[in-house]
Amino acid sequence: LEFPTDFVHDLEGFSQDDEGAALTGTVGAYEIQRRVGRGGMGEVYLAHDRTFGNLVALKVLYDAALREAQHARLCSGHPHIVTMYDVFEGRLGDRMRTVLVMEYIAGKPASRLVEDDPPPLRDAVRWARHAAAAIAHAHDRGVLHCDLKPANILITPEDGQRSWISASGAPRSSG
């Protein structure tokens, strides 16, 4: 999977907050609202897409990682995998960063739901079926997730009816 050569953007619109932690600002069409998560590969921000007027998730990887973006793009299109809309790279401070622009899912990680109040068995089974179908879809495209855990499965608030996985969890090629 190839990306266009013009996907490298200037990240100077991003800056760190007063505590030097979370990013703030705007780059291109994306205006950061707040940080919504942090993990081993990067930080996730809720952002406003000023072109289309919708909310998106920006996953800012700690290091440049086009391979992750390529795998995430291969897996897009499944009803239980977070859709990736765009990818770009740029220098932030002294390091190159890859930024994934993804569908924003207003849900909670399954790990938090389980900690707060264990779900009914039928809900847990439904979530597991959704995750299994998503992983099968990724495997059919030659992608191994390698970081599937409750913290990487989002459950939407509509009675816990849908679960989503991020296709960008430490992917590896199965071929």
pLDDT in tens, 97-118: 788 899 998 888 888 887 888 8
Per the residue annotation, which of 18, 63, 140, 147 is the catalytic one?
147
Of 115, 96, 78, 106, the closest CA to residue 42 belongs to 96
More confident residue, 98 or 9: 98
Say how many C-beta atoms besides its own lie within 10 A of residue 67's C-beta: 12
What's the gap between Cα 95 and its chain centre? Answer: 20
Of 35, 2, 31, the closest CA to residue 20 belongs to 35
Determine the Cα–Cα distance for residues 55 and 48; give it in Å rounded to an integer: 5
Query: What is residue 5's predicted lDDT score, i.e. its pLDDT?
Result: 41
Question: What mean pLDDT value characterizes the chain?
Answer: 77
Q: Are strands 42-49 and 55-61 parallel, antiparallel or unpaired?
A: antiparallel
Are residues 80 and 164 in contact, defined by beta-carbon separation less than 8 angstroms?
A: yes
Judge if pTM exceeds 0.95: no
147 catalytically annotated: yes
More confident residue, 43 or 55: 55
Query: What is residue 3's predicted lDDT score, i.e. its pLDDT?
Result: 40
